[in-house]
Structure 1
Amino acid sequence: MGFIGWIIFGLIAGVIAKMLMPGRDPGGFFVTILIGILGAVVGGFIGSALGFGTVDSFSLGSFALAVLGAVILLWAYRAARS
């Protein structure tokens, strides 16, 4: 997946994570993209560690791992800001 693909993948994962965890977060669009992209990395790491696979292509499993990672990062971001 190319650079633009990761940005779109991250945006979608970040938006889904914010829908699952609604609340007021500063940063808007760009922070959503960053949380989604980093969430894909975190989700891939967690998936690899648990033997579920990695986030290396666009598939339903990769997307679920990316959203899970984005939710974890969003929770950590909110906990750090409190």
Structure 2
Amino acid sequence: MGWLWAIIVGLVLGVIARAILPGKQDIPLWLTVVFGILGSILGNAVATWIGVNNTKGIDWTRHVLQLIGAIVVVGVGDMLWQSVKGRRRGTRA
């Protein structure tokens, strides 16, 4: 059941990250989910590193860090996707 939650959280975080980032991201939905999952993992790692991964009640700080991680991963991942996609078409970016 943990993998299902990871996919759901990845989808939600990835879509929110795409909405926050300016411009249009030309990445497919499956890649948005993967980037959202990776951003969530990154946010959890930072939360653990600064010591706010487990608090009483709702872990707002951890959730904000997960969203920031998703924004970073979606932004960087979109640039990488565009460069790979551009090379496959035979054009250089």
Shift, 1:17, TM fit: 0.6
Q: Following superposition of structure 1 onto structure 2, how do residues 3-82 of structure 1 map, counting pairs within 5 Å? A: 3-53=3-53, 59-61=58-60, 62-80=62-80, 81=83
Q: Per the alignment, do residues 60 and 51 of structure 1 end up closer, same or farther by CA in structure 2, a change over 3 Å counting?
A: closer
Which ranges in structure 1 are unaligned for 5 or more consecutive residues?
Answer: none
Deviations 1:37-72 (A, max 9, x none): 000011111111122216xxxx55343222111011
RMSD (Å) for aligned C-alpha atoms: 2.2
Aligned 8 A contact 1:39 1:72 in 2 = yes
Over the matched positions of the two proteins, sequence identity in percent amounts to 28
Scaled by the length of structure 2, the TM-score of the pair is 0.68
**Equivalent residues, number:** 78
The structural deviation recorded for 1:26 is 2.7
Letter aligned with residue 69 of structure 2: G
Asked whether the 8 Å contact 1:13–1:63 carries over to 2, the reply is no
> Shift in Å at residue 31 of structure 1?
1.1
Structure-1-length-normalised TM-score: 0.75
Kindly name which structure, 1 or 2, has the bigger radius of gyration based on alpha carbons: 2
Gaps of 5+ in 2: 84-92
Higher relative contact order (CA 8 A, sep 6+): 1
How far 1:25 moved relative to its partner? 2.3
